[in-house]
Structure 1
Amino acid sequence: MNDQALYFKFPLRILNWNVRGLGDAQKCDVIKDIVIDANPDLITYQETKWSECSIFRVRQVCPAKFNQFEVLNAEGTKGGILLAWSSKFTLLDSYVFNFTVSATLKINNFKFMFTAVYGPQEDRRKMEFMNEIRKIRELNNLPWLITGDFNLYRDLEDTTGSIRNMGLLSEFNNLIADTNLLDIPLQGRMYTWSNKRPHPTFSKLDRVLLSYHWNSFGATHSLKDLPASASDHTPLFLNIKPHANPCRKKFKFENFWLKHQEVHGVVAAAWATTSHSPNPVRVFQEKIFTVQRELLSWARRKFCKRDTLLRRSKWVLRQLDRVEELRHLNTIEFRLRIKIREHIFGLARDKELRWKQRSGSAWLKSGDNNTKYFHAVANGRKNLNSMATIQDGNGTTIPEVMLP
């Protein structure tokens, strides 16, 4: 993954749009004009309603630089996906399933997977759709971008209409959490679809999801809307930019690790490893590096999903509170809410301790609930965490060339 961070040097611009049919020539002209103005590198259209595709049809809705594409043909006049990319990308592999089209692409030495989805409208097929997304994640461990019309909700506020199946809402949130995906917020808009009636219904059906890889190497992203001049769905435009100077993260010992007894065994086992170097300084260095590596490995196994668990626990608590406004909670729900609150307090306490350590504000006591303050101070200290020189016991500065 460090290699991928170093290779990601160019911005990516992606346009996603449920176009609701591409059979009208005038409509295709309007869509192509919007694409030319946006100047994306990758495009995906859902509901093309094409039973078959050709380069001639792609030229009607995409500029000439999009000379490579993959499609999922419509079933009669229902559905259909077009995924197209510009000539600067190299196709490594592609996958077409029942609801998705995926392409593994390379630009220079940077590799990633791009998936376009069109989720089924029928509730009976939505679990099949979500299972298909899980299987795609298992194809590789590359940085992943998945976008399209999911036809699923994550929250009660995702529509001004009614949600018939709360179980699907929960399953969709579980899918996003289990596959370590990040739902990119749309700037300036709450919804992506409208029925365009005098008293309209609004829904958020279209999304962009990114895997954790993009954040791990410092990529920044923004998601904006484009004019919905040719469809009742809003076009989404994603801009992903590389970090200016991707670098290896420094090791930091987290104080809250000490709250877990097994950390002592991890350190002891790592320190007991044998080194074959005759240089005692090198032996010491190797032991330190081994301890760091084993601690990070242990922490990833034990804590990698703690922030996700905290978000999910808050979401469940919020849903229970909303249900209570409509009816009394039953005994199981009431006890579950108590357990979730206790769980949230424990996770939040660990999070506060983590940011308290990074901020260096030792004069604040644990429990002061100043996580946001700790976060701000920690970010301000980054440029101070450097060592200009090393001096020996006599106060003599050691030249850099003599350091092991």
Structure 2
Amino acid sequence: IASFLGGHNLKNFVQRPATATRGGILLLWDESVVDVKDVCIGTFFLSCKVTIVSSTTTFKLTTVYGPTRSNLKDAFFQELISEKPPPGSKWLVIGDFNQIYRAQDKNKPNVNRSRIVRFRNALNLCELKEIHLQNRKFTWSNEQTNPTLSKLDSFFCNEDWDLDFGTHILHALSSSLLDHCPLLLANDKGPQRSKPFRFENFWIKMPGFKKVVQGAWSANSGHSDPYLNLFHKLTEVGKKLRKWSRTMFAHSKVQIHMALELILRLDVAQDLRPLSTSEREL
């Protein structure tokens, strides 16, 4: 499951198992980019020591899944305080807190102000400040006609982390089929993505697939060495399939990206006003 979610780069993972449908945390990473050690799993969190391979910069990462039940909130706040690292340490805290620390982080006035104050006090004791979300006010919707919107998902850091990673930018992505919107934290250059060849299982069901493979495989490689001949054939099949897939699926991929962009724009609009009936149906 981790491999399916993370792809071929994020081969390493640790998890805090879910209870029914809640509380699960999955942390995946690329071992060529970061080294992860000293994993600690608590009731509401998963913490570890992260070292960036290229620079040997080290920081503590804590990812949380806050409780939804009111009687567990204070235990969650205390557990967060207990994870505060020693002075001089860099600390990044992320996740679904299931709690706001400002009344403005909800689009309706029915907020528990006492609990907001207790959460804000916990953040102050941890010396954490929020990383500003660039393009959204809220990250969660109950998806009703007149929706309740809240900013339940956040990224917090201490001053040491903020000074060391000065070019970070936090963006919300399209909510797509989720009630939460995914958040992407990257530097100002954005994430670096390689473009490896990926074979899609559904290709074999598409018209023209066998013809492309047969044509590429039967082409003369010009090699007498069986190993070089095999390598050439596999490479040629990959090239032809990549070209064929761009032609076959380019339009559908454009449509998917357009749909996600439209959903994101409706997400942003919903932060500011109720959506019309036609917008909700769309």
The percent of aligned pairs where both chains have the same amino acid is 31
Cα shift at 1:153: 1.3
- Does the 8 Å CA contact 1:219/1:241 hold for their aligned counterparts? no
Please say if 1:104 is aligned against 2:49: yes
Per-residue deviation, 1:165: 2.4
2:179 counterpart SS class: coil
How far apart, CA to CA, are the structure 2 residues paired with 1:194 and 1:66? Answer: 29
Quote the Cα distance in structure 1 between the aligned partners of 2:134 and 2:87. 30
- Give 1:140 deviation, angstroms: 7.5
Residue equivalent to 1:151: 98
User: Is residue 185 of structure 2 the alignment partner of residue 238 of structure 1?
Assistant: yes
List, as ranges, runs of 4+ consecutive aligned residues in structure 1 with deviation greater than 6 Å: none
3-state SS in 1 of match to 2:83: helix
Alpha-carbon distance between aligned partners in 1 of 2:167 and 2:117, rounded to the nearest angstrom: 28
Deviations 1:110-144 (A, max 9, x none): 11111111100111101111111111114685311
Query: Does residue 1:213 correspond to 2:160, yes or no?
Result: yes
Shift of 1:162: 4.1
> Which one of 33, 54, 60 corresponds to residue 4 of structure 2?
60
Counterpart code for 2:7: P
The separation in 2 between residues aligned to 1:62 and 1:115, in whole angstroms, is 19
- Structure 1 residues not aligned, in runs of 5+: 1-56, 243-404
- Read off the aligned partner of 1:182 and give its amino acid letter: K
Deviations 1:43-72 (A, max 9, x none): xxxxxxxxxxxxxx1012111111111111
List runs of 5+ in structure 2 lacking aligned partners.
Answer: 190-282
On the 8 A contact 2:23/2:66 being kept in 1, the answer is no
Partners of 1:129 and 1:141 lie apart in 2 by 24
TM-score by length of 1: 0.44
Instruction: Return the alpha-carbon distance in structure 2 between the equivalents of residues 75 and 123 of structure 1.
Output: 17
Give the deviation of 1:76 after TM superposition.
Answer: 2.9
Query: What are the superposed Cα offsets for residues 259-313 of structure 1, whole Å, 9 maximum, x if unpaired?
Result: xxxxxxxxxxxxxxxxxxxxxxxxxxxxxxxxxxxxxxxxxxxxxxxxxxxxxxx
Paired residue type of 1:117: V
Name 1:81's counterpart in structure 2.
Answer: 25
Residues 154 and 104 of structure 1: is their aligned pair in 2 closer, same or farther, counting only changes over 3 Å? Answer: same
Please report how far the alpha carbon of residue 195 of structure 1 lies from its aligned counterpart in structure 2 after TM superposition.
1.5
Amino acid corresponding to residue 113 of structure 1 in structure 2: K
Q: For 1:192 and 1:111, locate their aligned partners in 2 and report how far apart those are by CA, in whole Å.
A: 29
Corresponding pairs, count: 186
Shift of 1:217: 3.9
Aligned equivalents of 2:64 and 2:187: distance in 1?
19
In the TM superposition, residue 230 of structure 1 has moved relative to its aligned partner by: 2.9
Counterparts in 2 of 1:180-195, with a 5 A limit? Answer: 180-195=127-142
User: Who is 2:79 aligned against?
Assistant: 132
**Deviation at residue 204 of structure 1 after TM alignment:** 0.8
The residue that corresponds to 1:257 in the other structure is none
Which residue in the other structure is 2:16 paired with? 72
| CA deviation vs aligned residue, 1:95-114 (integer Å, no higher than 9, x gap) | 10000011112123211111
> Counterpart in 2 of 1:116?
63
Paired residues for 1:263-302 under 5 Å: none
Question: Which of 1 and 2 has greater Rg?
Answer: 1
Tell me by how many angstroms 1:81 deviates.
0.7
Shift of 1:157: 1.4
Structure 1 residue 164 displacement after superposition = 4.5
Query: CA separation of 1:76/1:218 partners in 2, compared to 1, >3 Å: closer, same or farther?
Result: closer
